[in-house]
Amino acid sequence: MIKIPELIEDGLIDDKGLPRRQETFQLAPRMPALHTSQLSWNNAGAPEGQHIIFDLVTRNNKLNDLAEMTVGNSFHEAEPGACKLFPGILPIGPLFADGEFRKPVGSFLPEDERCVKWLDAQPDGSVVYVAFGSMAIFDPRQFEELAEGLELTGCPFLWVVRPDFTPGLSKAWLAEFHQRVAGRGIIVSWCSRQQVTLN
């Protein structure tokens, strides 16, 4: 998705993300070939809404230019071509336990305005920002391990957790975690990535 400008320049897609040609292409050696009909924004939801997803992807790509580093859910050995092609992405995965399968889901939630106020109160460059987008799902064990890892860093953190992010998570465990990190970490259901990046 980061290579959208090149796909447009090469005439594979138009400026709305629609395929101009039905063909297979390869972004780099050692990366799997992809057909223009398989681009993610052209396979998400109803056709009349696909341009919205393409616009969102395009805007998010521009925000990557502002980031010092982007973390990806992969690892070098699995995708050496992609890692070489995108040196600004730090692969830290896999983040799912071996053999697990998750059905993607998504939702659009109202923004939690506490995150910007909380960020404004933190020293510059001190906050760990954690967000897995609108499709990732963690099981309770994965969630708890990530939460405890954030707690052990001792760093202030902003963690975006959708209500459907971890089905079956113990409310008692989450309440206890909130108490342990109160004042140092904040968990919100949604916030503007752009606001966080610019803060």
pLDDT in tens, 155-186: 999 998 888 878 889 999 999 999 999 989 99
**Which pLDDT does position 102 carry in this prediction?**
47
Do the strands 24-25 and 34-35 form a parallel or antiparallel pair, or are they unpaired?
Answer: antiparallel
Give the confidence band of 33 by pLDDT, cuts at 50, 70, 90: confident
Q: Is 108 part of a structural domain of the chain?
A: yes
Q: Is 71 part of a structural domain of the chain?
A: no
Q: Is 27 part of a structural domain of the chain?
A: no
Asked whether the beta carbons of 100 and 82 are under 8 A apart, the reply is no
For the entire predicted model, the pTM comes to 0.47
Q: Is 86 part of a structural domain of the chain?
A: no
| Coil, helix or strand at residue 19 | strand
Q: Which residue's structure tokens are 């896999």?
A: 94
Q: Is 116 part of a structural domain of the chain?
A: yes
Q: Is 92 part of a structural domain of the chain?
A: no
CATH of the domain at 199: 3.40.50.2000
Q: Please name the amino acid found at residue 162.
A: R
Q: Indicate whether 54 pLDDT > 50.
A: yes
Rounded to whole angstroms, the Cα distance separating 112 from 114 reads 6
What is the domain count for the chain? 1
Number of Cβ within 10 Å of residue 131's Cβ equals 17
**Which pLDDT does position 133 carry in this prediction?**
76
Q: Is 159 part of a structural domain of the chain?
A: yes
As a whole number, mean pLDDT of residues 50-66 equals 82
Q: Is 153 part of a structural domain of the chain?
A: yes
Q: What is the domain extent for residue 175? A: 98-199
